[in-house]
Structures are given as C-alpha cells and as structure tokens.
C-alpha cells in the first residue's frame, strides 16, 4: 500500500511538471506575435502611468482638432 501511494505521488508530480512546461511553451508562442505588432502610442503606457497616457492622448486630440479647424477656417 505504501508503494502504491509513493508511485501515485511520483506520477502526479510528473504529470504536473509536464503540464507546467506545456503552459510555458504555449504562453511563449502567444506572446511572440503580439510583441511584433506596432503600437499606436510612441511609448507603451505602464500600469502606473495610465493617467498620464490618457492626458497625453487628450492633448494630442485637442491639438489635432485645433489644426483641422484652422485648416477649415471654422471660427
């Protein structure tokens, strides 16, 4: 009975390790194409800097609207 429990734990450990390595390989495949895509912002916004990124984007849009209105000569 002891040997059965020991063998069962070893088999469970091997299966667990196999699943972990498969998940890491799958995650590496998913991350590779995503990194190759160009981003819309010149620098990626970090989780700590999301508010500044939003303000930067707002200012960029305001400047764009200002330029469009000036080119259309709308008061």
Question: What global pTM score does this model have?
Answer: 0.37
Query: What CA–CA distance (Å, rounded) separates 57 from 75?
Result: 24
Task: Please state the φ and ψ torsions of residue 38, each to the nearest 5 degrees.
Answer: -70, 150
Question: Do 15 and 45 reside in the same domain of the chain?
Answer: no
Residue 68 lies in domain = 40-75
**The pLDDT value given to residue 49:** 76
**The pLDDT value given to residue 12:** 95
Question: Do 74 and 57 reside in the same domain of the chain?
Answer: yes
Question: Do 48 and 24 reside in the same domain of the chain?
Answer: no
What is the number of structural domains in the chain? 2
Mark residue 38 as left, alpha or beta (left: phi above 0; alpha: psi -120 to 50; beta: remaining).
beta
**The pLDDT value given to residue 61:** 94
pLDDT at residue 19 tops 70: yes
Closest CA to 20 of 9, 31, 28: 28
């Amino acid at each position: 009975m002891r040997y059965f429990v020991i063998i069962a734990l070893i088999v469970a450990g091997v299966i667990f390790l196999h699943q972990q390595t498969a998940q890491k390989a799958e995650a590496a495949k998913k991350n590779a194409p995503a990194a190759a895509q160009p981003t819309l912002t010149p620098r990626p916004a970090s989780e700590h800097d999301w508010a500044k990124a939003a303000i930067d984007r707002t200012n960029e849009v305001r400047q764009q609207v200002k330029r469009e209105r000036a080119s259309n000569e709308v008061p």
